[in-house]
Amino acid sequence: MLAVVKRPRIEIRAKHIPAPLVRFLRDTYKPENVIVSDDNESEPFEQTEWFKSLDTTPGEMIVANRDLRNWSQVTLAEKLGIQVQNLCAMENGRRTVSRKMAVKLGEIFGTDPAAFFDFVK
């Protein structure tokens, strides 16, 4: 079972998600912002049309992935082998994410590196 909240980005995967938790998510974040799926074979939420339609910057994707793991900027910067200032600049859109860095981020987070590119729509 899968429950996803748009903002703040929350993803819950479990064999069973209790109804009170789903009610809490809908009450707190509005029903239209909560997606619940009983399909155990559901696709990763980064590959859903809903997620692809979000207007999200590469920096916001880095922050969201870092927050999901409860990592500080220091922790992620160490894993990437870069200075915290450079990570902060990427998260705030003052520095672009290179192809090499997107690949590193994808490996560290276990996600598609394309999530960290700023594609022109």
Q: pLDDT tens digits for 81-103? A: 999 999 999 999 999 999 999 99
H helices present in the chain, as ranges? 19-29, 49-53, 58-68, 73-80, 84-91, 99-109
Q: pLDDT tens digits for 103-113? A: 999 999 988 88
39 occurs within a structural domain: yes
Q: Are residues 46 and 87 in the same domain?
A: no
For the chain, how many structural domains are there in total? 2
Q: What is the pLDDT of residue 104?
A: 96
Highest mean pLDDT among 9-23, 31-45, 89-103: 89-103
Q: Are residues 20 and 35 in the same domain?
A: yes
121 occurs within a structural domain: no
Q: Of 26-30, 76-80, 98-102, 104-108, which gets the smallest average pLDDT?
A: 26-30
88 occurs within a structural domain: yes
pLDDT at residue 56 tops 50: yes
Query: How many angstroms separate the CA atoms of 59 and 76, rounded?
Result: 13
Instruction: Find the mean pLDDT for residues 51-58.
Output: 73
Banded pLDDT at 121 (limits 50, 70, 90) = very low
CATH number assigned to the domain comprising residue 74: 1.10.260.40
Q: Are residues 6 and 33 in the same domain?
A: yes
Q: What is the pLDDT of residue 46?
A: 63
Q: Which residue has the higher pLDDT, 42 or 104?
A: 104
89 occurs within a structural domain: yes
Q: Are residues 23 and 38 in the same domain?
A: yes
Judging by DSSP bridges, how do beta strands 34-37 and 2-5 pair with one another?
A: antiparallel
Domain end position, chosen among 11, 34, 51:
51
pLDDT at residue 38 tops 90: no
Provide the domain limits for residue 66. 55-116
